[in-house]
């Protein structure tokens, strides 16, 4: 296939880097988003998300004349759908006394519908959004058929999961292996040709449903592995040992690689995608379901640890350090840190939160400090919720002079307890019952 113009629908964490990367490789790209504000920001050369290198990439693409953004698609050789697939907040599935979350596919549906008037014979359509198994053939293909054209016969249709890690998106887009699942082998081949424009990693062709499963399996695998680490943290606490020490010793085994416990699993991927498998087959997904439960309830375990450290939470002042879903990103979606803050407040604590990557963020029901100093000055306890580099490098001696707090609770193994203790703090770490001895 020849690719002269690509239309990328959805200009978020995946669509925007994908669009600018194609533009940087000489392809004319129309970026489409329903949000006019985002379009205006991008056309000014600014970005609405934090991702290293993205602003420069966008500016290069705009200056070369290869990228523009609009609210509606146009005719193109290829359409890439990269819209969010969150879960529904108001409806749930039920199976055998359990409740599970359901995928909200509205953005994929309207993206596919928006392509219909512009779809032509010989085009390629690629879905990148993480989706329940069979979405490409059972949901997207029938919508596109409203054009009068049939997927696999008149145009190519493929699923290709994005697998890039926030914080390293631009590098991983190019270097990671890429799976392309076509509704026919020819569709997979067309997708292969498309991504070989910039992908340096291996490109592997398969069928559309396998490609969807690959994506869901990767994130579910990680979720289940984090769940076992979190469960180990609760067990270690019960047995009076330090989970971090135990994990580092277990990981000396050549075939064991236990992940890190923490305040829970956040973000728009790992905390969401396993539900797509549960929804698709609740009778076959007990392990996946229970892993989700463990990770979703980990904020409660954090609150129990804080309670033990402080005696009571009622009326106590807590500085919550970090609200992002993981270190060194500005993304607060599905963040377990915000859940911890809400739970602490329910128990009567007065929490002031500081997120260095989004200092001006407004979060409903959360009292955000304008500066780090403001967050810690009159706190009783400093609660470390995210292992941001700038927290890891704080000097306890300097902090002691800036806060009333005498108690530290570390939920991410971000601080060295001996150093804090030497500076007069009581130190507690989740999953580490030795930390305050
Ligand atoms: N976390 C832990 N313990 C760990 C590792 C992570 O508690 O040992 C927590 C993090 O703090 C965070 C959550 O898990 O709250 C998820 O973080 P992550 O770094 O594991 O993953 P994401 O969600 O940023 O990105 C994942 C990646 N998938 C896999 O590693 C299998 C990425 O490659 C995907 O592209 C991305 O999901 C996606 O978009 O699906």
Per-residue pLDDT tens over the stretch 297-327: 999 999 999 999 999 999 999 999 999 999 9
Which of 265, 272, 276, 322 to probe ligand 1 with, by most ligand atoms within 8 A of CB?
Answer: 265
pLDDT interval class at 32 (50, 70, 90): very high
Which atom of ligand 1 lies nearest, measured to the CA of 264? Answer: 7
Mean pLDDT of 233-253: 97
Ligand 1: residues with CB < 6 A are 130, 162-166, 218-219, 222, 226, 259-260, 262, 265-267, 269-270, 325-326
pLDDT interval class at 250 (50, 70, 90): very high
Exactly one of 101, 269, 316, 326 is catalytic; which is it?
Answer: 269
Distance from the alpha carbon of residue 66 to the mean position of ligand 1, in angstroms: 32
Task: Show Cβ contacts of residue 210 under 8 Å, excluding neighbours closer than 6 positions.
Answer: 179, 181
Quick one: pLDDT at residue 306?
97
Q: Which position has the higher pLDDT, 436 or 41?
A: 41
Cα separation, 60 vs 145, whole angstroms: 37
Q: Which position has the higher pLDDT, 146 or 49?
A: 146
Ligand 1 atom 34 nearest Cα: 163
Which residue do the tokens 């914080």 mark? 167
Quick one: pLDDT at residue 29?
98
* Mean pLDDT, rounded, of the chain: 96
Quick one: pLDDT at residue 147?
98
Quick one: pLDDT at residue 333?
85
| Whether residue 437 has pLDDT greater than 80 | no
Cα separation, 148 vs 254, whole angstroms: 56
Exactly one of 7, 66, 101, 215 is catalytic; which is it?
Answer: 215
Task: Show Cβ contacts of residue 83 under 8 Å, excluding neighbours closer than 6 positions.
Answer: 9, 10, 12, 15, 107, 108, 111, 129
| Whether residue 199 has pLDDT greater than 90 | yes
pLDDT interval class at 110 (50, 70, 90): very high
| % the chain with pLDDT above 90 | 93
Distance from the alpha carbon of residue 270 to the mean position of ligand 1, in angstroms: 6
Quick one: pLDDT at residue 425?
96
Quote the pTM value. 0.93
Quick one: pLDDT at residue 124?
98
DSSP state of 389: H
Distance from the alpha carbon of residue 231 to the mean position of ligand 1, in angstroms: 17
Quick one: pLDDT at residue 330?
86
Quick one: pLDDT at residue 434?
87
Quick one: pLDDT at residue 399?
96
DSSP secondary structure string, 106-137? HHHHHHHHHHGGG--TT-EEEE-S---TTHII
Quick one: pLDDT at residue 381?
98
- Catalytic, 269? Answer yes
pLDDT interval class at 258 (50, 70, 90): very high
pLDDT interval class at 50 (50, 70, 90): confident
pLDDT in tens, 54-63: 999 999 999 9
Cα separation, 32 vs 48, whole angstroms: 14
Quick one: pLDDT at residue 166?
87
DSSP state of 151: B
| % the chain with pLDDT above 70 | 100
Mean pLDDT of 70-92: 95
- Catalytic, 7? Answer no
Which of 12, 167, 226 to probe ligand 1 with, by most ligand atoms within 8 A of CB?
Answer: 226
Distance from the alpha carbon of residue 103 to the mean position of ligand 1, in angstroms: 19
b/e per residue, 221-260, with b = 16+ CB within 10 A?
ebbbebbebbbbbbebbeeeebbbebbeeeeeeeeeebbe
């Amino acid at each position: 296939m020849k690719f002269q113009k690509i239309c990328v629908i959805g200009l978020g964490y995946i669509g925007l880097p994908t669009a600018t990367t194609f533009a940087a490789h000489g392809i004319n790209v129309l970026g489409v988003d329903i949000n006019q504000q985002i379009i205006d920001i991008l056309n000014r050369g600014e970005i609405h998300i934090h991702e290293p290198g993205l602003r420069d990439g966008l500016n290069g693409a705009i200056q070369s004349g290869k990228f523009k953004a609009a609210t509606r698609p146009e005719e193109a050789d290829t359409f890439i759908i990269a819209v969010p697939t969150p879960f529904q907040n108001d409806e749930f599935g039920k199976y055998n006394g359990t409740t599970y979350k359901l995928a909200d596919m509205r953005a994929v549906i309207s993206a596919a519908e928006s392509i219909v008037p512009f779809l032509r014979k010989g085009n390629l359509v690629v879905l990148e959004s993480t989706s329940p198994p069979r979405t490409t053939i059972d949901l997207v293909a029938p919508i596109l058929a409203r054009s009068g054209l049939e997927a696999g016969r008149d145009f190519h249709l493929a699923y290709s999961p994005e697998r890039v890690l926030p914080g390293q998106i631009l590098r991983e887009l190019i270097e990671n292996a890429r799976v392309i699942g076509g509704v026919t082998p020819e569709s997979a081949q067309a997708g292969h040709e498309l991504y070989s424009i910039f992908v340096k990693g291996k490109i592997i062709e398969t069928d559309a449903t396998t490609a969807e499963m690959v994506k869901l399996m990767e994130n579910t695998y990680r979720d289940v592995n984090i769940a076992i680490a979190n469960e180990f943290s609760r067990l270690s606490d019960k047995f009076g040992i330090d989970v971090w020490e135990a994990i580092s010793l277990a990981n000396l085994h050549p075939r064991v690689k236990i992940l890190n416990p923490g305040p829970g699993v956040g973000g728009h991927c790992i905390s969401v995608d396993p539900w797509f498998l549960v929804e698709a087959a609740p009778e076959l997904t007990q392990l996946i379901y229970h892993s989700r439960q463990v990770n979703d309830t980990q904020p409660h375990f954090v609150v129990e640890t804080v309670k033990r450290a402080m005696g009571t939470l009622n009326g106590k002042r807590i500085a919550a350090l970090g609200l992002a879903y993981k270190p060194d990103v500005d993304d607060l979606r599905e963040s377990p840190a915000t859940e911890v803050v809400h739970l602490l407040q329910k128990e009567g604590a007065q929490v002031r939160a500081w997120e260095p990557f989004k200092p001006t963020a407004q979060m409903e029901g959360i009292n955000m400090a304008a500066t780090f100093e403001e967050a810690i000055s009159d706190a009783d306890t400093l609660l470390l919720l995210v292992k941001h580099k700038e927290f890891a490098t704080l000097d306890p001696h300097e902090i002691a002079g800036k806060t009333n707090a005498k108690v530290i609770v570390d939920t991410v193994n971000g601080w060295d307890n001996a150093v804090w203790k030497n500076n007069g703090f009581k130190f507690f770490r989740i999953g580490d019952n030795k930390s305050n001895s």
